[in-house]
């Protein structure tokens, strides 16, 4: 309609411009000018509008520009030829322009479809969490097809379908129940009666098996749109299958890591338990089997040995519980001002008889400020470091605990032993969980817990070569603690 009106109006306007000049121009010229209204009509209104424009221009050409003027009579053969050629050419032009317009429209439609599929492909290659992926799917389909509502249904625990994500107008509970009742049937893009209107359904099929259902409302239901929606459904099914496989891979990797951690835990605990249990077993057997043949001093020594190894087992259990707190994220700080010397004394009490406190030297300046720490955690840090130092020092070796106050509001604490030291290439790994060097080297739970407790305070720990005045070898475990602001 609009194309026909436009063509007639243009033909009238152009004719009005050419009428004053018709005695000075060739009779063919108006025919050439009147091609423009026909092309404009076809472009706007299609082939039908082109035919209307051709008829209107034919009449105007004959009535206005061919003598005798203002009549439809044609008295010359040349004019008849011009009119016939004009009509034939205009019909052909209308057909060609209309076909070109149709091809252009189809090309634009295909380009839009390709863009939508490309956007969807970009969505598929992104690593999205499952909930966000489901929301992205329904929102992409709704916006891509200009729909009223889209719902994605996935199998539920009870075997029926559940709405996993939706955009726009949602499905009613009755709709979901009716779809669940026919979930086992072949699903296709066929209208299904529903409350408030009709919706279309399409199965999401991956690897030959339906993994979900897409329900769309407000679709025109054209064949081209249904085919494109099926292509979308195939891509969406691949995205869901990929997300499922990714979750299974993460779950399998997590189970593998848990199994590795379990084996490492069993290995580390077995190693740490072997020595104290063997000592307790031998001491207890000696007490039971020897009876009165042991002197009181021997009995006392064996009893003290059992007591010391029982303390060691108790510390091992405490370390296991602490590691469980660390890995579960249940570690909380309760900071309070404390004197470092008091924490060292408490750590030696925790070690009990195995602490051999007579061999521990405590060097601290009188003006050392109070530290702002969690008493329980730092006490355990000192206990673990002292136990580590005493176990790796010779029987008559000395262990020194010293502290200095830095200008940055930190207290630097050193626990120095007289043992074999720690090679430079081992100084990072000894703080790893369950790390243990061959031939009874340092490592295990104790140092890993020390590092975790200090990092919870925002501090750090490292290992240096011992700087002892007597020339003995050894290792210094150095760590920092925060001081109470303004405290001296």
Map out the domains of the chain as residue ranges: 2-106, 128-251, 331-482
- pLDDT for residue 263: 67
pLDDT-based confidence at residue 229 (cuts at 50, 70, 90): confident
128-251, CATH topology level:
Beta-Lactamase (3.30.450)
Q: Which of 205-214, 258-267, 290-299, 387-396 has the lowest mean pLDDT?
A: 258-267
Query: Per mean pLDDT, which range of 50-54, 125-129, 211-215, 461-465 is the poorest?
Result: 125-129
pLDDT band at 481 (very low <50, low <70, confident <90, very high): very high
pLDDT at 117 over 70: no
pTM: 0.45
User: How many C-beta neighbours within 10 Å does residue 23 have?
Assistant: 6
* pLDDT confidence of residue 470: 56
Tell me the three-class secondary structure of 18-83, residue by residue.
HHHHCCCCCCHHHHHHCHHHHHHHHHHHCHHHHHHHHHHHHHHHHHHHCCCCCCCCCCCHHHHHHH
pLDDT of the residue at 462: 92
Most confident of 71-75, 247-251, 455-459, 467-471: 455-459
* Residue tagged 């007597």 (tokens): 470
Is pLDDT above 80 for 378? yes
Which pLDDT value is given to residue 477? 93
Cα-Cα end-to-end distance for the chain: 95
> In this predicted structure, which of 200-209, 237-246, 318-327, 462-471 has the lowest mean pLDDT?
318-327
Q: What is the mean pLDDT of residues 287-299?
A: 74
Q: How many Å is the Cα radius of gyration of the chain?
A: 45
Percent of the chain at pLDDT > 70 equals 77
Say which residues have a Cβ less than 8 Å from residue 89's Cβ, sequence separation at least 6: 35
Tell me the mean pLDDT in the region 89-98. 84
Rounded CA-CA distance 393/313 in Å is 20
According to the model, what pLDDT value does residue 301 have? 79
Q: What distance in Å separates the CA atoms of residue 202 and residue 334, rounded to the nearest whole number? A: 58
* Average pLDDT, rounded, for the chain: 76
Both tokens of residue 65? 């520009």
Least confident of 25-29, 168-172, 261-265, 400-404: 261-265
| pLDDT, position 320 | 67
pLDDT > 90? residue 167: no
Q: Taking a C-beta distance cutoff of 8 angstroms, is the pair 463, 477 a contact?
A: yes
Question: 230 is written with which tokens?
Answer: 């099926």
Q: Is the pLDDT of residue 126 over 70?
A: no
Residue 67 has pLDDT above 90, yes or no: no
Across 334-346, average pLDDT: 89
**According to the model, what pLDDT value does residue 142 have?**
79
Q: What is the pLDDT of residue 206?
A: 74
Segment among 231-240, 329-338, 346-355, 360-369 with least mean pLDDT: 346-355
Local confidence band at 412 (pLDDT 50, 70, 90 cut-offs): very high
For the domain made up of 331-482, the CATH class stated in words is alpha beta
Which of these, 48, 36, 32, 155, lies nearest to 95 by C-alpha position?
48
Confidence of residue 187 (pLDDT cuts 50, 70, 90): very low
The pLDDT of residue 195:
43
188-217 pLDDT per residue, tens = 444 444 444 467 777 777 776 777 777 887
User: Is residue 468 classed exposed, middle or buried when 0-12, 13-18 and 19+ CB atoms within 10 A define those classes?
Assistant: middle
**In 324-460, beta strands by DSSP E:** 335-338, 360-363, 371-374, 399-405, 410-416
Q: Give the H or E element holding residue 164.
A: strand 161-168
Query: Which neighbouring-strand residues pair with 165?
Result: 152
Predicted confidence at residue 487, as pLDDT, reads 56
**Residue with more model confidence, 4 or 157:** 4
Cβ neighbours of residue 146 under 8 Å, at least 6 residues apart?
218
pLDDT top residue among 306 and 441: 306
What digits encode the pLDDT tens for the residues 243-280?
778 788 888 887 787 677 666 666 656 666 676 777 78
Q: Is the confidence at residue 298, as pLDDT, over 90?
A: no
Q: Which of 34-38, 134-138, 141-145, 409-413 has the highest mean pLDDT?
A: 409-413
> Which residues fall within 8 angstroms of residue 150, CB to CB, at 6 or more apart?
138, 139, 141, 142, 166, 167, 168, 214, 215, 216, 217
pLDDT band with cut points at 50, 70 and 90 for residue 441:
very low
Asked if residue 68 has a cis previous peptide bond (ω within 30° of 0), the answer is yes
CA of 59: how far to CAs of 50, 71, 134, 377, 480, in Å? Answer: 14, 10, 63, 104, 103
Q: Which of 75, 107, 93 is nearest to 32 (CA)?
A: 93
How far is Cα 427 from Cα 418, in angstroms, rounded to an integer?
17
User: Smallest Cα–Cα separation from 264: which of 103, 422, 92, 448?
Assistant: 448
Distance between alpha carbon 417 and the CA centroid of its chain, in Å? 47
Residues 6+ apart with CB under 8 A from 461: 431, 450, 451, 454, 477, 478, 479
Q: Return d(Cα 141, Cα 202) in angstroms, integer.
A: 12
The pLDDT of residue 482: 92
pLDDT score, position 388: 86
pLDDT, average across residues 2-22: 83
């Amino acid at each position: 309609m609009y194309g026909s009106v436009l063509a007639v109006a243009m033909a009238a306007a152009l004719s009005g411009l050419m009428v004053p000049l018709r005695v000075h121009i060739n009779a063919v010229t108006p025919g050439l000018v009147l091609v423009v209204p026909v092309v404009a009509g076809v472009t706007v209104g299609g082939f039908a509008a082109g035919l209307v424009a051709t008829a209107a221009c034919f009449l105007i050409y004959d009535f206005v520009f061919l003598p005798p003027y203002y009549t439809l009579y044609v008295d010359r053969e040349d004019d008849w030829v011009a009119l016939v050629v004009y009509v034939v050419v205009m019909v052909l032009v209308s057909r060609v322009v209309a076909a070109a317009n149709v091809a252009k429209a189809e090309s634009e439609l295909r380009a839009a479809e390709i863009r939508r599929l490309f956007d969807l492909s970009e969505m598929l290659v992104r690593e999205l969490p499952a909930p966000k992926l489901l929301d992205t799917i329904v929102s992409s389909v709704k916006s891509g097809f200009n729909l009223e509502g889209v719902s994605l249904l996935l199998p539920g625990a009870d075997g029926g379908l559940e709405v996993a994500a939706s955009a726009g107008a949602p499905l009613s509970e009755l709709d979901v129940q009716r779809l669940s009742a026919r979930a086992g049937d072949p699903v296709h893009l066929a209208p299904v009666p529903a409350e408030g209107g009709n919706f279309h359904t399409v199965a999401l099929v991956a690897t030959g098996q339906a993994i979900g259902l897409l329900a769309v409302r407000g679709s025109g239901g054209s064949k081209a749109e249904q085919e494109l929606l099926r292509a979308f459904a195939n891509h969406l099914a691949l995205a869901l299958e990929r997300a499922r496989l990714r979750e299974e891979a993460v779950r399998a990797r997590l189970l593998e890591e848990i199994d590795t951690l379990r084996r490492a835990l069993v290995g580390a605990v077995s190693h740490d338990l072997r020595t104290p249990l063997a000592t307790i077993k031998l001491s207890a057997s000696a007490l039971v089997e020897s009876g009165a043949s042991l002197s009181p001093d021997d009995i006392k020594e064996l009893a003290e040995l059992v007591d010391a190894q029982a303390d060691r087992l108790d510390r091992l259990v405490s370390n296991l519980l602490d590691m469980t707190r660390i890995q579960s994220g249940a570690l909380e700080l309760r900071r309070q001002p404390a004197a470092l010397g008091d924490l060292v004394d408490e750590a030696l009490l925790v070690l009990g008889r195995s602490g051999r406190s007579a061999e521990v030297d405590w060097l601290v300046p009188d003006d050392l400020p109070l530290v702002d720490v969690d008493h329980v955690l730092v006490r355990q840090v000192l206990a673990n470091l002292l136990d580590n130092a005493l176990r790796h020092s010779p029987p008559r070796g000395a262990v020194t605990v010293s502290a200095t106050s830095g200008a940055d509001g930190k207290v630097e604490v050193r626990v120095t032993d007289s043992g074999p030291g720690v090679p430079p290439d081992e100084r990072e790994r000894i703080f790893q969980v369950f790390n243990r060097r061959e031939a009874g080297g340092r490592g295990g739970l104790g140092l890993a817990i020390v590092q975790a407790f200090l990092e919870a305070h925002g501090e750090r720990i490292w290992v240096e070569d011992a700087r002892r005045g007597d020339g003995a070898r050894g290792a210094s475990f150095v760590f920092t603690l925060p001081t109470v602001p303004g405290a001296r």
